[in-house]
Amino acid sequence: VKSEGPKLVPFFKATCVYFVLWLPTSSPSWFSALIKCLPIFCLWVFLLAHGINFLVSHRSASRILAGLIFSAVGDAFLIWQEQGYFIHGLLMFAITHILYSSAFGMKPLDLKAGLLMGLVSSSCYAFLYSYLSGPFTYLVAVYIALIGFMGWRAVAGVQLCNDLWTWTKLSACIGAMLFMVSDLTIALNKFCFPVPYSRFIIMATYYAAQMLIALSAVESRDEEDSRKRS
């Protein structure tokens, strides 16, 4: 908390600015895009504050930074989703999940967690399927598979039963779960039925998810500091 907390102050301030201004979604503009993306920009700064050498030497951290960059582009596209840019935003976030999955890695494999996430993802798609039409029938399926895979890799890294977890791995796991909640709320609200307080739920879980995933990138720094102390 002492080492990472101060670096997150700009993120919390930017998030407060978004919720205080609460710009109407009916009139998209570059200003509203900036306000929406500002917390993600602050997470770029949070990672960059650890040093360029740190990001270059630790692939997981650099991939999470790349994921945050694609997320910001996706956020901007979704500002104009009613003007036909929803698929563009979907593509940007699909790339984000691929980068996050790569950052979390494939070890440990944890097939039980994979089966569980596969079941959850399949159930979500089965529910959405009857509401989908055209290219969304396939695009949503691919997207759910990607975010489900990302969730699997985040959950697999925790290993609570073996007492091998760290706070950064736990933050990645919780962040991935919140990201799935945010995206599921988007899907329900867009394709199925109006979700009460959908915008608040989507953005609150989204910002929290991105912050926690960004925090997981300092795992390598923790290991590096431990080696230096020893």
- Do residues 13 and 207 lie in contact, with contact meaning Cβ atoms separated by under 8 Å? no
Domain map of the chain by residue range?
4-229
Which pLDDT score, from 0 to 100, does residue 230 have? 46
What is the tens place of the pLDDT at every residue in 211-222? Answer: 999 999 986 555
Q: pLDDT per residue over 2-53, tens digit each?
A: 788 899 999 999 999 999 999 998 889 999 999 999 999 999 999 999 999 9
Neighbouring C-beta atoms of residue 158, cutoff 10 Å: 20
The SS3 call for residue 5 is coil
192, two tokens: 């199925």
Chain segment 41-50, per-residue pLDDT in tens: 999 999 999 9
Cα–Cα distance between 211 and 34 in angstroms, integer? 18
pLDDT of residue 81 exceeding 80, the answer is: yes
- Look up tokens 């596969």; give the residue: 118
Identify the pLDDT of residue 220: 52
Burial class (CB in 10 A: 0-12, 13-18, 19+), 161: exposed
Whether residue 229 has pLDDT greater than 60: no
Q: Is the pLDDT of residue 75 over 80?
A: yes
